[in-house]
A and B are shown apart, each in its own frame.
Chain A
Amino acid sequence: MWLNNIKLAFRSLWKHKLVAGINITGLGLGILCSLLVIIFIKNELSYDRWIPDQSNIYRLYRTWGNGNSGLISPVPMADAMRDGVSGLEAVTRVASNTDMLLSYQGDFYKVPEMLSTDEYFLQCIPLPLVQGNPETALKAPNSAIISQKLAQQIFGSNPALGQQLLLENSNTITVTGVLAPFRGPSHLKADLFLSELSNESGSWTGGYGYLYTRLQSNVNAHQISKDASQLYNQAIQRVYQEEERTFDIAKMPSWSLQSLSNIHLESKKLGVTAESSGSFRQISIIGLLGLVILLLAIINYINLATAQLNKKSEEIGVCSVHVFLGLVLALCMIPYALTFFNEMVNRTLMPKDLFNAEGVILLASLTIIIAVLTGVFPALYYARLNPVDSIKQNTKGKQQFQFRNALVVLQFTLSIGTLLLVNLVNQQLDFMLDKDLGFSGDQVAVFRINQSENVDQFQQWKSRLENLQGVQAVSQLSRLPGDYIPNYQFRFANAERSESVNVMFGDEDLQVALGIEVKQGRYFSEEYKRDHGTSFVVNEAFVKKYGIEKPLGYSMSFYGDSIPAQIVGVVKDFHYASMEKSIEPLVMSARMDKAWLGRVAVQIDGPAIANTLPLIQGLWKELEHGFPVTQYFLDERFQKLYDQHVRFKRSLSYTAIVGIFIALLGLLGLTLFVTQQRTKEIGIRKVLGASISSIVRLLSKDLLKLVGFGVLIALPISWYLLQRWLDNFAYQTNISWFSIALFILLALTLAWLTMSIQSIRVAIANPVESLTDD
């Protein structure tokens, strides 16, 4: 029996290829989006839950009276807790390091993330090992456990245990364990866990690293946080007594425990800004988006199905075949869709994440729900119809028609709104990428000096670099535009005032190498040897913010520095940070002892870049023998500041494309419905002398009005949202209305084309056919 039904269903599918295709694509898209969301949410909720005994593992954080929270803990606290708090299985300290350089037998390996920890790490967080003994692996200082991936990369199939590696060209570390591949996602992303924090000394008032603890079973986490707070307060009180400072318990933070499984989703409030960390807000937004897309797809489907009611084939059998084929389509698309989706949510989700017991159950229930919804509603619709009415084809479907209208308006509001946002965000991005930054970054190659003795010697090599053909200027400096620029405390004239100001250190060629313009006075120069210690160059923002009337000769000095110094020049403001912020005051100093001048900026003559780069690299290998040459272009690095916004733009684009597609499907459904409702009228009008174009116009006019209405609603909403987004930027683009108009025109054209397919078909049909039914 049901086999027969399916046979009938496939036959009808073939007969109505166009509508079936639309139906299946629409449903498939809806299912695809909900599958992506399922994969994403499942992944987000599974962080660290696979770690053995995870329910007893916590991370400590403190909260001050003003509501601010922080994760950094004082160095002595771990030892103190081990001795002074009962009920703890283990306490460990963890600090994160990025971009570390490993070498093994002359080959270099980059480790994007390394965790420094102590001998208790594996007792506290029992990550499974495939090699090594977890009891002893991190016991000795400078012993390391590495991921299996890294082990394979360095050692291939040779044994890793006991091998020695050179870290950052200074520390020799010994591999004592290899981690088993993680069975799920984790907030601990490192490839290298190094035991180097045991027996570290530090003060109670400072802090370094995070504190994790594993409780004995049946110990109350709340009690532990109280004990920790008390322990901390007592320690601080002792320190204050020694320093003769007044201790006010009301100003002390309180310590809390955050369970391991919450870390991934609830760390934003603790000041963790890593894009890889998640949040319940993100989960709900994406979940909601998926649900809305699925709902729209289902509603569109029901609309299309009921609009086709004079074609009597629409039965539950057909609907389930549509759902089934939609599902197949969605499953086939998942690998491709995931590449876009991963970019959107900044994860590395895999199709296989869906195919486990839990995933398959979710998938099955989703399919059943969709099948029921899409099957039952049209069936109810037919059942409710008066058979005589449906044969006589009257035009009184007003109420339903209005619901359909509202739906199309909503879909177009959403999709055109997103499209407009894409356009506006794009305008701002282009503006930021094209804006004159005040320095020339496109011909500046930046190199990293690897060894500290080379940092000190570099000034002697400089001329060898300068003499290379195509090199225009060379400067050794601390930080570059686009890097984090640290601030230092300064004492201003007459010591009456002190401010903390960002400082860039560099030699006297910095200004030429980066192409910065001098406004007043001069830049540092070799002629003035004193410059190295006693001169500053500041930017215009500095002069303006601190209201210095005659900047040249103004005296100021590093806080705690006895050498008096003064301003010798003012440079034109340049963007050394993202355009989200306005340009802040900046001090430039040529003091070579104050900071790690580990970078070298080389300005190269434009046309000569291709020839010059290899020369520099060759020379570099000679200067720093045996090290990899680390090099990038300044403008490329600077543009990375906007990665987050570029990603935002991409996410919006994908959403807009899906949205427009669904909206067009909805419009097509409505067109089918309307033309079917008005077939008779169209026939009559043709008999009365209507031309094809006037019929198409008649049909499109009302529908285009709906789309236009959608645009009208979308405009102010996206305008408002854009303004909110633009608030993030100190420098904002002038919005081009022309390109907005172009986008709207594009949307309207797409809408019109969609409607035309159906309305032209109806308009050229022979009226005789539609009028002889009676």
Chain B
Amino acid sequence: MIELTHIEKYFRRGLQKSWVLRDINLNIEAGEFVTIMGPSGAGKTTLLNIIGLLDVANNGSYRLNAQATQKLSERRRNDLHKQNMGFVFQAYHLIDDLTVYENIETPLIYRNIKGKERKAMVAEVLDRFQIVAKKDLFPDQLSGGQQQLVGVARAIISKPKVILADEPTGNLHSKQGEHIMELFQELHREGTTIIQVSHSEKNAQYGTRIVNLEDGFVKENILL
């Protein structure tokens, strides 16, 4: 499903290139649950952003569902991103001015889904995550765990094929973290492809494969 070949990413600092990803070759099949691990600065988040079509590699090829993404226009890339990807962040990144309900609804608005249908879809997710009672609260009225729950709810509401999670439990207590990971496991069982960045071996155990990055190279590829 995801085919990365010779992916390179660098930033220009004056005349010098500062490398983030050197030569990434990575295939991820649909239905996998992959954990990207590695020390700080190894390029984990950048890799995740490239996979999520938020960022573009400088060199190499990225084929998503056998379609080359390198030369797509901003608009086409945005469409592809909308159709396939759901994002979960370490800092939740909910919109402070919107209620829980509105936060979850937002991705649907950008996918031009009709009001009635939106209502049904949001209600279903709220119900599933057992946060119906919280739907009119604002993010700062929720605990971290609850906020991340909303974050996951928002990521899956549009039924993406891939969920990309950047240290989703990094800001949470272990108890809350476990709850989120169980949720991912459940989504994985239902067939969603999940790619997460994590420092935690324990979280990695929920997945099916570990990819170890170091200095911009894939160092290890461990199937669990």
Given known A-B contacts A395-B96, A685-B95, A766-B54, A771 and B110 have beta carbons under 8 A apart? no
Q: Across the interface, which residues of B come within 8 angstroms of A764, CB to CB?
A: 74
What chain B residues lie within 8 Å of A771 (beta carbons)? 89, 93
Question: Does A348 interact with chain B (Cβ within 8 Å)?
Answer: no
Contact A680 B93, beta carbon cutoff 8 Å: yes
Q: Which of B93, B95, B111 contacts A689 (CB 8 A)?
A: B111
Q: What mask results when residues 94 to 121 of chain B are scored 1 for a CB within 8 Å of chain A, else 0?
A: 1111000000001100110000000000
A764 to B73, CA, bound (A): 13
Q: Which residue of B lies closest to A392 (CB)?
A: B91
Contact status B110-A687, CB under 8 Å: no
Enumerate chain B residues within 8 angstroms of A686, measured Cβ to Cβ. Answer: 54
Which of B21-29, B75-83, B125-133 participates in binding chain A?
B75-83
Least Cβ–Cβ distance between A731 and chain B, in angstroms = 55
- Assuming the contacts A688-B154, A689-B110, A768-B49, asked whether A681 and B96 have C-beta atoms less than 8 A apart, the reply is yes
Per the bound structure, the CA–CA distance linking A691 and B82 in Å amounts to: 10
Complex contact B45–A772 (CB within 8 A): yes
B176 at interface by CB-CB < 8 Å: no
Complex CA gap A683/B92 in Å reads 13
* A767 in the interface (beta carbon within 8 A): yes
CB-CB contacts below 8 Å: A747-768 with B: 764, 766-768
Distance of A455 Cα from B52 Cα, bound (Å): 98
User: Is A292 close to B, CB under 8 A?
Assistant: no
- Report the bound CA distance from A774 to B90 in whole Å: 9
Q: How far is the CA of A329 from the CA of B166 in the complex (A)?
A: 51
Smallest CB–CB gap between B88 and chain A, Å?
10
B55 close to chain A: CB less than 8 A? yes
Residue ID in chain A nearest B154 by CB atoms: A688
- Interface residues in B37-74 (C-beta closer than 8 Å to A): 45, 49, 52, 54-55, 74
Known contacts A768-B49, A768-B54; A689 and B82 CB within 8 A of each other: yes
Q: Cβ of A684 < 8 Å from any Cβ of B? A: yes
**Chain B residues with CB under 8 A of A728:** none
Chain B residues, CB < 8 A from A767 = 54
Tell me, in angstroms, the Cα distance from A765 to B11 when the chains sit together: 16
Q: Does B87 sit within 8 A of A, measured CB to CB? A: yes
Q: Report B101 CB to chain A, min CB distance, Å.
A: 15
Kindly provide the distance from the CB of B211 to the nearest chain A CB, expressed in whole angstroms.
20
Q: Which residues of B contact A690 (CB under 8 A)?
A: 110
Q: State whether the Cβ of A339 lies closer than 8 Å to any Cβ in chain B.
A: no
Evaluate contact between B55 and A766: CB separation under 8 angstroms.
yes
For residue B81, which residues in chain A have a CB less than 8 angstroms away from its CB?
689
Asked if A685 and B106 make an inter-chain contact with CB atoms under 8 angstroms apart, the answer reads yes
Residues from chain A with Cβ under 8 Å of B97 in the complex:
395, 681
Are A689's CB and B49's CB within 8 A? no
Whether A694 is near chain B, meaning CB under 8 Å from some CB there, is yes
> B74 to chain A: which residues have CB within 8 Å?
692, 764
Contact indicator B110/A691 (Cβ below 8 Å): yes
- From B81, which residue of chain A is reached at the shortest CB distance? A689
Q: How far apart sit A689 and B84, CA to CA, in the bound complex (Å)?
A: 11
Q: Contact between B107 and A691 (Cβ–Cβ < 8 Å)?
A: no
A7 to chain B, nearest CB (A): 21
Interface string of A381-422 (1 = CB under 8 A from B): 000000000000011100000000000000000000000000
Q: Judging by beta carbons under 8 Å apart, are A691 and B78 in contact?
A: yes
Q: Tally of A-B residue pairs with Cβ under 8 A? A: 50
Those of A718-769 within 8 Å (CB) of chain B = 764, 766-768
Chain A residues, CB < 8 A from B96 = 394-396, 681
Residue of A nearest to B170 (CB): A774
Taken together as a complex, chains A and B put the C-alpha atoms of A684 and B154 apart, in Å, by 11
Closest chain B residue to A693 by CB distance?
A: B75
Q: How far is the CA of A688 from the CA of B86 in the complex (A)?
A: 8
Contacts A692-B74, A772-B45 given: A684-B93 contact, CB under 8 Å?
A: yes
In the bound assembly, the distance between CA atoms of A680 and B74 in angstroms comes to: 20
- Select one of A395, A688, A691, A774 contacting B91, CB under 8 A: A774
Please name all residues of chain B whose beta carbon is closer than 8 Å to the beta carbon of A684 when the two chains form the complex.
93-95
CA distance A764 to B93 in the complex (A): 19
Query: Measured between C-beta atoms, what is the minimum distance from A330 to chain B in Å?
Result: 38
Residue of B nearest to A694 (CB): B110
Closest Cβ of chain B to A499, distance in Å, is 75
A172 to B78, CA, bound (A): 93
Which residues 644-693 in A have Cβ within 8 Å of B in the complex? 680-681, 683-692
Q: Which B residues are CB-close (under 8 A) to A766?
A: 54-55
Residues on B with C-beta less than 8 A from A689 are 78, 81-82, 107, 110-111, 158
Q: Which partner residue on chain B sits nearest A767 by CB separation?
A: B54
Task: Using A772-B45, A774-B90 as known contacts, say yes or no to A688 and B54 having CB atoms under 8 A apart.
Answer: no
Identity of the chain B residue whose Cβ is nearest the Cβ of A681 in the assembled complex: B95
Separation in Å of the B109 CB from the closest CB of chain A? Answer: 9
For B95, what are the chain A residues with a Cβ–Cβ distance below 8 Å? 681, 684-685
Residues of A within 8 A of B90 (CB): 774
**Across the interface, which residues of B come within 8 angstroms of A768, CB to CB?**
49, 54-55
Instruction: Mark A468-491 against chain B: 1 for CB-CB distance below 8 A, else 0.
Output: 000000000000000000000000
How many angstroms between the C-alpha atoms of A4 and B54 in the bound complex? 42
Question: CA–CA, A681 to B139, complex, Å?
Answer: 13
Minimum C-beta distance from B184 to chain A (A): 18
Name the B residues within 8 Å of A681 (CB-CB).
95-97
Give bound CA distance, A394 to B158, whole Å.
27
A77 to B94 Cα, complex, angstroms: 90
CB distance from B29 to the nearest CB of A (A): 24
**B contact residues around A685 at 8 Å (CB):** 95, 106, 110
Q: Could you give, for residues 122-156 of chain B, a 1 whenever the CB lies within 8 Å of some chain A CB and a 0 otherwise?
A: 00000000000000000000000000000000100
- List chain A residues, Cβ under 8 A from B154: 688
- How many Å from the CB of B116 to the closest CB on chain A? 20
Contact of A688 among B45, B75, B106 (CB under 8 A): B106
Chain A, Cβ-Cβ closest to B46: A768
Query: How far is A767 from B166 in the complex, measured between Cα atoms in Å?
Result: 14
CB of A389 to closest CB in B, whole Å = 13
Interface centre among A685, A689, A692, A766 (most CB of B within 10 A): A689
- The answer to whether A688 and B55 touch across the interface, beta carbons within 8 angstroms, is no
Task: Output the least CB separation between A390 and chain B (Å).
Answer: 16
- Give the shortest distance, in Å, between A38 (CB) and chain B (any CB): 46
Give a binary string over A332-346; 1 marks a CB under 8 Å from any B CB, 0 the rest. Answer: 000000000000000
Closest to A395 in B: B96
Q: Which residue of A lies closest to B87 (CB)?
A: A687
Tell me, in angstroms, the Cα distance from A691 to B87 when the chains sit together.
16
Choose among A681, A767, A771, A774 the residue with the greatest number of B CB atoms under 10 Å from its CB: A771
Alpha-carbon distance between A573 and B74 when the two chains are bound, in angstroms: 71
Q: How far is the CB of A378 from chain B (nearest CB, A)?
A: 25
What is the bound-complex CA distance between A692 and B90, given in angstroms?
25
Enumerate chain A residues within 8 angstroms of B89, measured Cβ to Cβ: 771
**Chain A residue contacts of B110, Cβ below 8 A:** 685, 688-691, 694
Q: What is the bound-complex CA distance between A105 and B93, given in angstroms? A: 93
Nearest-neighbour CB distance to chain B for A677, whole angstroms, equals 10
Bound CA–CA A681/B49 (angstroms): 17
List residues of chain A with CB within 8 A of the CB of B91: 774
- Which residues from chain A sit less than 8 Å from chain B, CB to CB? 394-396, 680-681, 683-692, 694, 764, 766-768, 771-772, 774
Given contacts A684-B95, A685-B95, A691-B78, 12 further A-B contacts (CB under 8 A): A396-B96, A681-B95, A681-B97, A686-B54, A687-B52, A689-B111, A690-B110, A692-B74, A767-B54, A768-B55, A771-B93, A774-B90
16 examples of A-B residue contacts, CB within 8 angstroms: A395-B96, A681-B95, A681-B96, A685-B95, A687-B54, A687-B87, A688-B107, A689-B78, A689-B82, A691-B110, A766-B54, A766-B55, A768-B54, A771-B89, A771-B93, A774-B90
Closest 6 A/B residue pairs (Cβ): A689-B110, A689-B82, A688-B107, A774-B91, A684-B93, A395-B96
